[in-house]
Amino acid sequence: MSGPSLNTPEPALPTGGNPEGGRGLQAVLRLEDFRKLWIGQIFSQLADKFYIVLMVFLIDQHLLLTQQQNGVLADVASDYGFDISTRTQVITLLATGIFVANTIPAMVLGSVAGVWVDRWPKRRVMVASNGLRALLVLLTPLCLIPGPQILGLPWGYWGLLVMTFLESILTQFFAPAEQAAITLLVPGEHLLAANSLYQTTSMGATIVGFALGEPILRALNLASERLGIPGGEFTLLPFCYGMAALSLLAIRRDEPPRTSSGRSVWQEIVEGLQVLRHFPTVRSAMVHLVLLYSLLAALYVLALQLAALITNLGPSGFGTLLAMSGLGMAVGAVLTAQLGHRFSRRRLTAAGLGTITWSLLLLSQFKGSLSGTLGLCGILGVGAALVAIPAQTTIQEDTPEHQRGRVFGLQNNLINIALSLPLVLAGTLVSRVGLSPVLGLLAILALIAALVERPWKRC
């Protein structure tokens, strides 16, 4: 029960949807239902990023406390060792609450949501998730109505926290359904290209969403005010989620009906864990994803330190380094889509981990250099794509069809934990031993993982 080997290149087989047997992005985009799924992903991914930007925008513009009101919050914050003496620090603290409300469901509910996704039709889950999120965000303006303070904060802020929590719960159902739907709509020989396209889109949505989110919100607000209808910024999220729901609703492929297994949710979660035990290729790919996202999460913290050492950038410019890594991942995804089928998964993964190792080591040598740091962050992103895409494709191919939802839910759990813990550990280590030793430690971990793949052996 080990599943297909990771060591052989993908066969170039023709399919009914692509009779020429072509490969790469062009071939996978010819698949009509997948194209609708991809368009739905674009709008959904953008909406997720715009959501976070909107929350911070509302805190800054509408829910920021006056200096007198700040006193209560300052007393509470001081009890936990937080300093909120400046406006930026207050915004950061309140925005952190939004991040926490968004993260908790992702860390806790992924496996449970995955079990239910296996029981329900994937298209209906995706349409319902986006439709309900579109309706939920329509309530956002209500949180700006003046009202009482609760624990020293405006009641509307607590309303945004509850909304964010509910929005994240709905996202936990969408994510595994989306991953499982790819395998239903895309023939196996095109999965690598399909995942590469998804990775490219995800990185593009991250860059566009975070970089252009606030200017778009301000432009919508200004345009609506000129028309005499305030609140234009509140139309962006319902539009994006609504367009995602409509695109997914147009998918024609229907799933075969499922019969009830009679097992409890907990029993099915355990069965999802058993997949990792019975299918070594799935287990190995999952470990690669957890390691990769742990390294990337640590990089988020280290980017602050790296940016602070660059004269023309400063700590507030850390987003530029992350954006460059995202651009590198997008480039790596396109390269994998076009050329990845020529190489074994093992060698792609080893090459990616080796690239990450080399980049981390050189980052410690190029500290303070803007061009050098940007270039290495981009190269590191390319390496990350070479690890992530083959791993995701392997999980999709080798996981039994009736267990994909719960496995993808478990994957979301593990990845979100991998994104959270290193944020704390990396910051603590940097403060104690310095930036270069931490970069070296991360490079060693990536190198060990690359050597475990034994790329020098014949595939």
Residue 405 pLDDT exceeds 70: yes
What pLDDT does 68 receive? Answer: 46
Question: What count of residues does the chain have?
Answer: 459
Q: Please check whether residues 172 and 250 belong to one and the same domain.
A: yes
What pLDDT does 175 receive? Answer: 85
Q: How many domains does the chain have?
A: 2
Q: Please check whether residues 367 and 347 belong to one and the same domain.
A: yes
What pLDDT does 261 receive? Answer: 60
Q: Please check whether residues 245 and 300 belong to one and the same domain.
A: no
Residue 36 pLDDT exceeds 80: yes
Q: Please check whether residues 369 and 390 belong to one and the same domain.
A: yes
What pLDDT does 136 receive? Answer: 95
- pTM greater than 0.95 (yes/no): no
* Phi then psi dihedrals of residue 423, to 5 deg: -60, -40
Which of 74-78, 268-272, 411-415, 421-425 has the weakest average pLDDT? Answer: 74-78
Residue 365 pLDDT exceeds 60: yes
pLDDT in tens, 72-81: 555 555 554 5
What pLDDT does 315 receive? Answer: 63
Report the C-alpha gap between 37 and 23 in whole angstroms: 19
Report the C-alpha gap between 397 and 188 in whole angstroms: 7
What pLDDT does 22 receive? Answer: 60
With respect to residue 10, please indicate whether it lies within any of the assigned structural domains.
no
Which of 10-14, 128-132, 355-359, 399-403 has the weakest average pLDDT? Answer: 10-14
Q: How many Å separate Cα 380 from the centre of its chain?
A: 17
pLDDT in tens, 235-255: 999 999 999 999 999 998 777
With respect to residue 339, please indicate whether it lies within any of the assigned structural domains.
yes
Instruction: Give percent above pLDDT 90 in the chain.
Output: 19
Q: What element of type H or E holds 150?
A: strand 149-150
**C-alpha gyration radius of the chain:** 23
* 250 secondary structure, DSSP code: T
With respect to residue 14, please indicate whether it lies within any of the assigned structural domains.
no
What pLDDT does 13 receive? Answer: 36
Q: Which residues contact 453 (CB under 8 A, 6 or more apart)?
A: 346, 347, 349, 350, 353
Q: Please check whether residues 228 and 280 belong to one and the same domain.
A: no
Q: Please check whether residues 223 and 289 belong to one and the same domain.
A: no
Answer with the one of 226, 254, 282 that is the final residue of a domain: 254
Residue 418 pLDDT exceeds 50: yes
Query: Which whole number is the average pLDDT over 262-284?
Result: 75
Q: Please check whether residues 297 and 239 belong to one and the same domain.
A: no
Q: Grade residue 88 by pLDDT with cuts at 50, 70 and 90.
A: low
With respect to residue 15, please indicate whether it lies within any of the assigned structural domains.
no
Report the C-alpha gap between 215 and 233 in whole angstroms: 10
With respect to residue 195, please indicate whether it lies within any of the assigned structural domains.
yes
Q: Which residue would you say has higher pLDDT here, 109 or 258?
A: 109
Looking up tokens 């003496």 gives: 85
* CATH code of 299's domain: 1.20.1250.20
What pLDDT does 16 receive? Answer: 39
Answer with the one of 231, 254, 277 that is the final residue of a domain: 254
Q: Please check whether residues 79 and 127 belong to one and the same domain.
A: yes
Q: Please check whether residues 313 and 294 belong to one and the same domain.
A: yes
Residue 383 pLDDT exceeds 90: yes
Q: Please check whether residues 297 and 205 belong to one and the same domain.
A: no
With respect to residue 2, please indicate whether it lies within any of the assigned structural domains.
no
Which of 173-177, 305-309, 363-367, 444-448 has the weakest average pLDDT? Answer: 305-309
* 231 secondary structure, DSSP code: -
Residue 323 pLDDT exceeds 70: yes
Tokens of 230: 């305030």
Looking up tokens 């069809």 gives: 401
Answer with the one of 229, 254, 279 that is the final residue of a domain: 254
What pLDDT does 17 receive? Answer: 41
- Pick the most confident of 111-125, 292-306, 375-389: 375-389
Helix count and strand count (H, E) for the chain: 16, 2
With respect to residue 232, please indicate whether it lies within any of the assigned structural domains.
yes
pLDDT in tens, 200-240: 787 778 777 766 777 888 888 888 888 888 788 899 999 99
Residue 5 pLDDT exceeds 60: no
Q: Please check whether residues 201 and 295 belong to one and the same domain.
A: no
pLDDT in tens, 142-182: 988 888 877 777 888 899 999 999 999 999 899 888 888 88
pLDDT in tens, 49-68: 889 888 888 887 776 554 44
Q: Please check whether residues 324 and 193 belong to one and the same domain.
A: no
With respect to residue 145, please indicate whether it lies within any of the assigned structural domains.
yes
Whether 17 and 187 have beta carbons less than 8 Å apart is answered as yes
- Domain housing 131: 23-254
Report the C-alpha gap between 372 and 365 in whole angstroms: 9
